[in-house]
Amino acid sequence: MKTTPRSLPREPVELKVEKLVYGGEGLARQGGVTYFVPLVAPGETVLAEPMDRRRNFIRARPLRVLKPAEGRVEPPCPYFGLCGGCHYQHLRYELQLEVKRDILRETLRRLGGVHWEGPIGVHPSHPFGYRNRAQWKIRPRSSGAGLALGYFRMGSRSLCPVDQCALLAPPLAEALQALGPALAAEDWPRELEQIEAFATPEGALLLTLTLETLPADPGRVIERLRELLPATAGVLLHGLADEQMHLEGPGFVVYRVAERQFRVGHLSFFQVNRFLLEPLPALVVGETAGGLALDLFAGVGLFTVELAQRFEQVVAVEADPAAARDLEHNLGAAGARTRAVNADVVAFLNGWTDRPDLVVLDPPRSGVPMQALEALARLAPPRIHYLSCDPATLARDLRHLLGAGYRVEEVQLLDMFPQTYHLEALVRLVHGS
C-alpha cells in the first residue's frame, strides 16, 4: 500500500537515486514516500533536505553527495546549480544520452501505451557551444544604477546574473560578454525586460528587445547596440503594453545550412542546435519518396526544401505570419513543386482531401491539436514522420495515431539540447499492419 506523506520530515534524509525523470530530477523512495531531487545522478546516494510536500511526493534539495555515481563529473560552468538553464552538467555526456534514451522509452510507454522494444537511434551533438539563439532576461540591479542580465534561477522567476554561458555559439558568447557590463554601467531604458539574440554561422546577429513600453527615442537604443555589437544585422523593439514594434534593418538574416540558405526573421522559429542543423532534414525525411508530401508546422521550410528533392509536390503549412513570409521566400528556389500556405494546421487539414504519401509533423511543445490528429486519421497517409520536442505530448499524440491504425516503425533521439533535460525525438509511423 502506497503511503501518502502528510508532513515534511524535519531532518535531512538519506536517499538512493533510482533514476532520472523528465524535468531533470532524480527519483528516490524512502519510508514508502517518493522524493524528487534535482542535480543528482542515477545510482548515487545523497543527503537531501525536504522542501515541498505534495499529495503523492516530496521535493527535496541535495545537500551532499554521500556515494557519487560513476558518471558524475565536475560541472564546467560556475553558475551551474544556480542558473535554471542547465540540469545535467554534472553528468558525463555519454550518461546524459543514456538517461534521455531511457526517459524517452519510459515516457512513450507510460503516457502513450507505446511499448517500443526496438533500438532507439541516438544522434549526439557537441555538448557545448551549440546554441545559435539565446534569451537573456534583464532586471534592475539590486544595488546601484544599471541593469543586470542573465537567466532565471533554477526553480524561480528571479534573475541569476551571468557573464558567461557554455552553451552559446561563439558569436552569442561574445555578445553576452559585451552586453553585461554595458547594461550594468550605462543608462538604458528601465522598461527593458529581455534581449533575444540569434546568430548565423558567420556571426551576423538579429536582436529582439522586449520592453514594457517603447522608449521615446528607439533610434538611440539601436545606435548603442550597434556600437556594442557591430555584427548586428537588425534590431526589433517590442513594446508589451500596447504591442507596438520598431524595426531597424531588413528584419531577417540568411542562415546557411550545408549548401542551402534560409531566410530567418526576428519572430520566426528555427532549430537552435547549430551542429545538428545539417543532418536534421535528411533524418526527418528519410528515404521516403512519392507524389505528395505535407509539411505541417513548417516554420521557415527547413524540411520542406528536403522534401522537394523527393516528392513531385510538397505543401508546407505554417500558421505564424512572420515565419510564413520567410517560408514563402525560402521555397522560391524550389519552383512549382512546392507551395507555402499561411494557415492554421487544423483549418488547413479540415479543408484538404488529397491523400498525401507522407506527412511531416514538427509541432510546438504543446503537440498536435486533437482536431488535426482526427483529420490525419481521416486522410490516412501511408507514412507520418513526427519530430517532437516534448516526449509527454508526443506520447499523447502517438496514443491517438496508434488507435487510428498506425504502428511505430522507428524511434530516434536527437540531442538538440545537451546539458539540459530537454530532448528531441523522431518517430516514424506507417499505416496498417
The CA-based diameter of the chain, rounded to the nearest angstrom, is 69
Q: Is there a contact between 125 and 183 (Cβ–Cβ < 8 Å)?
A: no
* Interacting residues of 315 by C-beta distance below 8 A, sequence separation 6+: 292, 293, 294, 295, 338, 339, 341
Q: Where are the beta strands (DSSP E) in 98-188?
A: 120-123, 133-140, 147-152, 159-161
β-pair type (290-296, 311-318):
parallel
Which residues are identified as catalytic?
A: 389
Q: Which residue do the cell numbers 521615446 mark?
A: 216
Q: Is there a contact between 376 and 386 (Cβ–Cβ < 8 Å)?
A: no
Question: Which whole-number Å values give the CA distances from 277 to 266, 284, 379, in the listed order?
Answer: 19, 11, 30
In 10 A of CB 156, how many CB atoms? Answer: 10
Q: What are phi and psi of 311, to 5 degrees?
A: -125, 150
Compute the Cα dihedral for 97, 101, 102, 107 and give only its sign: positive
Q: Is there a contact between 148 and 134 (Cβ–Cβ < 8 Å)?
A: no
Q: What CA–CA distance (Å, rounded) separates 384 from 380?
A: 9
Per-residue b or e along 386-406, where b marks 16 or more CB atoms closer than 10 Å to that residue's CB: bbbbbbbbbbbbbebbeeeeb
Nearest to residue 214, comparing CAs of 182, 198, 236? 236
Nearest to residue 293, comparing CAs of 279, 277, 309? 309
7 Cα distance to chain centroid: 36
Q: What CA–CA distance (Å, rounded) separates 150 from 332?
A: 39
Long-range contacts for 152-158 (Cβ within 8 Å, ≥24 apart)?
152/83, 152/84, 153/82, 153/83, 153/84, 154/38, 154/81, 154/82, 154/83, 154/84, 155/38, 155/84, 156/84
